[in-house]
Structure 1
Amino acid sequence: MKEITGNPLFPVFLQLNELHVLLVGGGKVGLEKLTALLENSPKATVTIVAREISADVRHYVANYPRIQLLERAFEETDLNGVDLVVVASNNPELNLRIRKECRSRHLLINVADKPDLCDFYLGSIVKKGNLKLGISTNGKSPTIAKRMKELLNEALPEEIDETLTYMSQLRDLLKGDFNDKVKALNAHTASLLSKEGI
C-alpha cells in the first residue's frame, strides 16, 4: 500500500438538493454553516434545531421554503430521516453526544471548530458559473484556504462558464470511444488555454 503524505481527505461534491441536512445551532456559527450550505445548494432541505434561533438566521431563511426551524433543545429523534449532520454548538457535551449517536447511525457529521469530531469539513469554495473548486487545508489553516479562494476568484475569468458550455457541446458531438474523446478534448482545451494566456 502506498503511504499517504499531506492531506488525506477525499474531495466529494454532494447533491444537497437530494439530501436532508440537520443543522444543530441557531447562532452566529450556525448562520455561517447555513450560508455555506445554501449558497452552494439553494434548494437544500435543512432542519435547524436550537434552543435559540437568532433573528439573523430567521431573516436569512425567509426566502428558503425548504428550511424548517425548531426552536428547542436537540433530541435524538431529530436524526431520524436525515442524511447529513452539521453541528454549530458551543456545548462540548452535546457535541460528543451527537457525534456518538451519528456514529451509531452511520451518519456523516461536521462539528464546527472541532476537527477531531468531524467526518467531513466544509472547505472554501470558488464558484464561476458551473465551475466549482473546493479548497481544503486539512483543517490546518482556514485563513490560507480563504486567501486561496480570493486569489482564484480573481484569477479565473467570468467567461470560464461559457467555455464550459462550449466544451460540453463539443463533447456531445465527438465520435469514437472514451479515449478518442479525451484526446480531442485535451487538444481543444490546450488550444483554448494558450489563446487565453492561462
Structure 2
Amino acid sequence: MNTLFPIFIKLDQVQTLLVGGGNVALEKLQALVQQNSAVQLTIVAKEVSTAVQLLAEGYAGINIQVRAFKSADLDGKQLVIAATNNPVLNEEIRECTRARNILLNAADKPDLCDFYLGSIVRKGNLKVAISTNGKSPTIAKRLKELLNEVLPEEIDETLELMSQLRDRLKGDFDEKVRTLNAHTKSLIGKDED
C-alpha cells in the first residue's frame, strides 16, 4: 500500500543540498530547475561533470562546491538529495540527515529515502505528481506521457476562470464548494452527489 503523503514544495524558499556531480545528479538538477528556476541549491561533489556545471551556470540560486561532502554541508538545509554511486557515502549522508531531522532522497535507494521525486505533469498552473511508491519509475514515466497527451492545453485558461469565480463567490464555505463543484463537474463528465 502506498502511504506516501504528496506535497508541493516551494524550492525558492527551501535550502536544498544535492550531493553528487555525475549523470544522476544532472537528472535531479534538471528536475529541480524545471519545476522552479529560482531553486536555492548547493551542489557538493568531488567531481562535477561539465553538463552539471553548464546547467547550473544559468541559475543564480545554484552554488557548486567541488570537494568531498562534509556534515557541515547540512547547516541550514531542509532537503537533501544524494545522487552518488557510493553506498558508504549514501549511508553517511542518511545518518547525518536523520540526526538533524532533514529530509533525504537517495537516488535509486528507496530504503534510505524520506521522500521520492515523482514524475511531474505540468500544464500551466496545473501540476500533477505521480508516485509508484518507489517501485517503478518507468511506469510513472509512461503515466506522465499519457497525462501530457490527454490533458488539454486550455486547462490553464479554465484554472484562471475558476480562480476568478472563486474570488467573486459569496456565502459560507459549503455554498462556495457546491457552486465550484457545479462548474467543474463537466470537466470529467461525471455527475457529483
| TM-score between the two structures when normalised by the length of structure 2 | 0.96
Partner of 2:45: 50
Q: Per-residue CA shift, 1:72-123, capped at 9, x if unaligned?
A: 0001110001110000011111000010010000000000000000000000
Mapped partners of 1:51, 1:136: distance in 2? 31
Aligned residues: 189
Gaps of 5+ in 1: 1-5
Q: Find the residue that maps to 1:16 and give its secondary structure.
A: coil
Report how far residue 71 of structure 1 moved. 0.3
Determine the C-alpha separation between the residues in 2 that align with 1:84 and 1:149.
24
Q: Which runs of 4+ in 1 moved over 2 A?
A: 191-194
How far apart, in 1, do the equivalents of 2:169 and 2:11 lie? 32
Displacement after TM superposition at 1:190 (Å): 1.5
Q: Secondary structure at the match of 1:149?
A: helix
- 1:103 aligned counterpart, secondary structure: helix
Q: Which residue of 1 aligns with 2:185?
A: 190
Q: For the residues of structure 1 that align with 2:71 and 2:187, how far apart are their CA atoms? A: 53
Corresponding residue of 1:7? 2
Secondary structure of the structure 1 residue equivalent to 2:12? helix
For residue 20 of structure 2, what is the aligned residue in structure 1?
25
Aligned match of 1:71:
66
Asked whether 1:140 is paired with 2:135, we answer: yes
The root-mean-square deviation of aligned C-alpha atoms, in Å, is 0.8
Identity across matched positions, percent: 61
| Cα distance, 1:191 vs structure 2 | 3.6
Match of 1:47, SS state, is strand
Please state how far the C-alpha of 1:192 moved relative to its aligned partner: 4.7
Query: What amino acid does structure 1 have at the position aligned with 2:125?
Result: N
Which is further off, 157-166 or 184-193? 184-193
